[in-house]
Amino acid sequence: MIASLEGTLAAINSDHVVLVVGGVGYKVFVPANTLSASTGDPLFLHTLMIVREDAITLYGFATTAEREAFERLISVSGVGPKIALGILGSMSLERLFYAVGSGQVDAFSRVPGVGKKTAEKIIFELKDKLKGADGLIPAASGGSSDINKDVFEALLGFGYSASEAQAALKSIPADALDVFEERIRLALQYFV
């Protein structure tokens, strides 16, 4: 199993790159938003190798969280690597996890090959799989506040599901103080 590659970026195409490692060029399929490098630049990718009857394919990602999200996406029945790359290429991880955690079917509408039924299936099958996974924490309702992420993680630690934690975060009044203790107290009131 090839877990990562480090080499020189030889070519960039719409859905894959060619990464030269030790004189060998590897064709690695990547999400559209993964690369910010140019041809000739050094590049490190976390990879996943999928072996099928007719092909051995490498998929590359900027972070291990991105790779893990890809693995979880392709575990959904009806979602293959091409659709999973499309999803990861069209939205950030935070946006993806927030969409799954809050059941936002519309968030997947811009992804080619993902209709309403597929989006519902992704949300249904991944909602509980995202809970507690390293690096896979949905964005809080208010955006990218670090305090909301801390509150979310604390709620997961207390045993609440990702969807319950999201609902509790949404229940926090907009004018609440940006202090962890205050926000966790308000979030816990949701469950009373």
Determine contact, residues 83/113, Cβ cutoff 8 Å.
yes
Q: Strands (DSSP E) along the chain, which ranges?
A: 4-12, 16-21, 24-29, 42-51, 56-61
pLDDT tens-place string over residues 109-168: 778 888 889 989 998 888 877 654 444 444 444 443 567 777 877 887 788 877 788 888
133 within a domain of the structure (yes/no):
no
Q: How many CA atoms does the CB half-sphere of 171 hold within 13 Å?
A: 17
Are 13 and 50 members of one domain?
Answer: yes
State how far the Cα of 189 lies from the Cα of 186, in Å rounded to an integer. 5
End position of a domain, from candidates 61, 82, 109:
61
Instruction: Report the C-alpha dihedral over residues 41, 90, 46, 128, rounded to 10 degrees.
Output: 160
Token representation of residue 31: 């999400």
Residue 131 lies in a domain: no
Q: Tell me the CATH number at 19.
A: 2.40.50.140
Q: Which domain holds residue 120?
A: 65-126
What is the per-residue pLDDT for 134?
Answer: 43
Pair (93, 117) in one structural domain:
yes
What is the pLDDT, as a whole number, of residue 145?
54
Q: pLDDT for 64-122, tens place per residue?
A: 889 999 999 999 988 999 999 999 988 888 788 888 887 888 888 778 888 889 989 99
| Same domain as 79, residue 109 | yes
Q: Is the pLDDT of residue 184 over 60?
A: yes
Angstrom CA distances, 187 to 10, 134, 140, 152, stand at: 50, 23, 12, 9
The structure tokens listed for 17 are 């790159």
Q: Is position 136 within any domain?
A: no
User: What would the mean pLDDT of 162-177 be, rounded to a whole number?
Assistant: 82
Q: Are residues 49 and 89 in the same domain?
A: no
Looking at residue 149, what is its pLDDT?
76
The CATH number of the domain holding residue 156 is 1.10.8
Answer whether residue 31 is part of any domain.
yes
Same domain membership, residue 85 and residue 117:
yes
Structurally, how many domains does the chain consist of? Answer: 3
The partner residues of 28 in beta bridges, in order of sequence, read 17, 58
pTM flag (> 0.85): no
